[in-house]
Chains A and B, each alone.
Chain A
């Protein structure tokens, strides 16, 4: 566990404490600590870069001048099995990251649109998981008794599901629905118990604090206490945990798409692009490397960011 802590009493031993004005709140302290780390700055930059792709994919890919599903037969060599013409998988002024073999679709446009699909699914699934998990955990922890028993059993049951197998099966059986929505729901379905357990534990330790008792004596109802007193107390770990589950969500989406049960072609997603490019890994490495690198960088950035947030916001959690 990292010894950096957000309380003002314990100063981090390895470096000078960040310059902080006297009397700043915990969030200001956290922000100051975050700003101090290089890994955080770098990963924030990567995350911002890909988040921008997610929001403005059509605009960004328009810069390259090609649509994600536009064929360009002039960029591939029909006599070489449709391999791209030119060095590095057909990198040129026209196709910035080269083209797909055989179809000649622009790799830049596809990887940008793929980012949109992959990250949209990952972010929405994370949102579902966090909202459902926090709600379940806070309710189970605060009300205790039978509510806690039922919810905890449900968490155990969900965690006993062979989730990847189940997700694959559900994705392949349900055919005629919006794949992106379905995938988000299916991934979200199995993710919530992890965060629910964290929140439940945190709530258990908060619910007998004096300020909660004071609120109760003061006449606050249980829902008001949950929203006003408990929720802010669990926010730190939840934020850290959220950042740490995003990489898992991205990887799950990619795995499902890789196995061919995710989004349907021609809509690109990173996992699906990697699956298609595996066959070309030594004849056209660029085709394989581009989506893989995007996936790798995004997952890495979120992991680093999550590690830092956890060290700072949840010093009691298992840090690395």
Chain B
């Protein structure tokens, strides 16, 4: 187990370095020149060179990348002389736009994105799994048909369409909810939840539909296993058979997609955040794109990738907990 974990962690590190390298190459090689942007319109050649040197853009690409990676682990000093700027561990550089540390920006925005993703995930798991399991237990009945038709339809709705429907229905017509305005959980948990309820629903509907479809099919499969018959024959209550034996084994494929989805959403709910104006990481990223703020773009990409690989690792470890057949 320890050995397995160690090997996996090394793998995670390797993947992250590879992703950083690819991102770095693509976004630093492509045309835009941040030094020229920082220098302004009437910019002399010498001054441009000086700025380039200060930003470290005159070094060869591999050197810049090596500095960047070292910075993440140990922190580094950027620039030299009177403009020297020390960037502490974990250094992701400074935003070109407002000179704030990228790490601080990310830490600042993370609670919003995490609240959005985790809340939505709780809703979609609850809705999706209960719909899927209900449909599977009533296979080929009217309930099953109705649930699955609903799921296919809901899975075909893009998130911006659902959002507008929800805004229109719940805010404009019914007046039930406020227009989302993020409040930190620590400040006022109730207002945090009421403000986020709409974005949660908008995001959760699509995923709930997909999870309902997936969990139905894996439930049907696991309920057909011989050990379910054994459990029934032992005289276990139906509830125990379904939950402890059927659902537990049927969870493995759900867990796989859940890891990927949650990992992807922690820093990737760009559309939902921009529709509801939530100041999360997706919005930060979207803003950085329009100004060509490469350190921020790189930082968000890396953070998002980290969430994905870590979530996948966590899922692999959880397999052993959920499915007794899995051993490392």
Residues of A within 8 A of B (CB): 1, 14, 156-157, 159-166, 168-170, 172-175, 247, 251, 254-255, 258-259, 261, 274-275, 278, 281-282, 288, 292, 295-296, 299-300, 303-304, 307, 318-320
Contact = CB atoms under 8 A, between A and B. Distances in A.
Contacts of A156: 15
B156 A162 contact: no
B143 interface: no
B31 A175 contact: yes
Contacts of A174: 30
Interface in B264-284: 264, 267-268, 270-271, 274-275
Contacts of B164: 278, 281, 288
Kindly name the residue among B214, B217, B289 whose own CB sees the greatest number of chain A CB atoms within 10 A.
B289
B155 interface: yes
B175 interface: no
Interface in B160-217: 160-161, 164, 167-168, 172, 213-214, 216-217
A244 to B, nearest CB: 11
Given A254-B158, A258-B160, A318-B217, A165 B19 contact: no
Nearest to A293: B161
A299 B217 contact: no
A156 B15 CA distance: 9
In this complex, the interface size class of chain B, counting residues with CB under 8 Å from chain A, is 35 or more
B249 to A, nearest CB: 14
A169 B286 CA distance: 9
A162 B305 contact: yes
B268 A165 contact: yes
Kindly name the residue among B27, B160, B304, B309 whose own CB sees the greatest number of chain A CB atoms within 10 A.
B160
Given A166-B23, A175-B31, A320 B216 contact: yes
Contacts of A251: 158
B161 A165 contact: no
Contact of B19 (A157, A274, A282, A319): A157
A168 B23 CA distance: 12
Given A173-B292, A292-B161, 15 more contacts: A156-B15, A160-B19, A160-B305, A160-B308, A160-B312, A163-B264, A165-B268, A168-B270, A168-B285, A169-B23, A169-B285, A173-B27, A288-B164, A292-B158, A300-B156
A162 B161 contact: no
A275 B160 CA distance: 9
A84 to B, nearest CB: 19
Nearest to B303: A162
B151 to A, nearest CB: 8
B38 interface: no
Nearest to B16: A160
A290 B260 CA distance: 33
B82 to A, nearest CB: 33
A165 B267 contact: yes
A76 B308 CA distance: 48
Contacts of B221: 1, 318
Contacts of A172: 289-290
B152 A304 contact: yes
Nearest to B152: A303
B148 A320 contact: yes
B304 A162 contact: yes
A14 B140 contact: yes
A261 B160 CA distance: 16
Contacts of B22: 161
B136 to A, nearest CB: 10
Nearest to B172: A282
A315 to B, nearest CB: 12
Nearest to A292: B161
A169 B297 contact: yes
Interface string B284-328: 011001101000010011001101110010000000000000000
A191 to B, nearest CB: 14
Contact of B285 (A165, A175, A303): A165
B297 A161 contact: no
B26 A247 contact: no
A171 to B, nearest CB: 9
